[in-house]
Structure 1
Amino acid sequence: MDSSFSVSKHDEGAGSIRLAVSGEIDDEVSDALAQIIGNAAAQPGVAVVIIDLERVPFLAAAGIRALLEGRAAALYHGRAYQVVNARGVVHGVLATAGLLSLFHTTIRRSTPAR
């Protein structure tokens, strides 16, 4: 599996911004992720910042810090904050850290391809 880090931004409508993260979130990329989330939260018209971890195979302690800093930035700007689609090891890390409810973590159901 390719572990190259990337983030793509998607406008979900009604003030919701989804940041789809791909790759491992570790010490090397955590500061960048926190900054990307903070920038998204600071944009005018944003009501909800959604962090989609569906394509994240690994989450280090630095990644948890980045998600917490992103949440703090979202709250500072009066935005709701959600982490979605954490699976496998990543879900386990968030559960062990007690962060699932803090991040309002859910697994979204994908729309079947036609």
Structure 2
Amino acid sequence: MTGPFTVCKHDDGDGAVRLEVGGELDHDVSEALSLILINAAEQSGVRHVVVDLNAVPFLGSAGMRSLLTGRQVALRHGRTFIVSNPQANVLETLRAAGVAGILSPATETAAV
């Protein structure tokens, strides 16, 4: 991993929590990212979890697994889970893995 891994949590109102994630999402940070995403999805009063990847230059398989784990927990608790603002190479990684449509549906639809 190069550079720091950061997460800033924002309450966007109406039950929406936005997590601004920064840094490379690889094996080094995947466990911490999973725990953060699970925690956000399990918070009372949360209805929507949005993970903003604008500051993520690299998404590895372990980081993708963390996103999918966060989504699974959110859905189990009746919350929506969306990944937003992926950089082009991160979006391409999501597409190549076949998960862009479920993690970032607005971006995938706009790109079609």
TM-score normalised over the length of structure 2? 0.90
Contact 1:54–1:87, Cα closer than 8 Å, also in 2: yes
Aligned: 1:79 with 2:79: yes
Aligned: 1:98 with 2:98: yes
Q: Hey, what's the Cα distance between the residues in 2 that align with 1:76 and 1:94?
A: 22
Structure with the largest fraction of helix: 2
Specify the SS of the correspondent of 1:44.
Answer: coil
Aligned: 1:89 with 2:89: yes
User: What amino acid sits opposite 2:100 in the alignment?
Assistant: L
Unmatched segments (≥5 aa) in structure 2: 108-112
TM superposition shift of 1:60: 0.4
Dislocated runs of 4+, deviation >3 Å: 104-107
1:106–1:85 CA distance, 2 compared to 1 (3 A): farther
Aligned: 1:64 with 2:64: yes
Q: Percent identity?
A: 46
Question: What is the total number of aligned residue pairs between the two structures?
Answer: 106
Question: Alignment RMSD, CA only?
Answer: 1.2
What does 1:1-114 align with in structure 2 at a 5 Å threshold?
3-106=3-106
TM-score normalised over the length of structure 1? 0.88
Unmatched segments (≥5 aa) in structure 1: 108-114
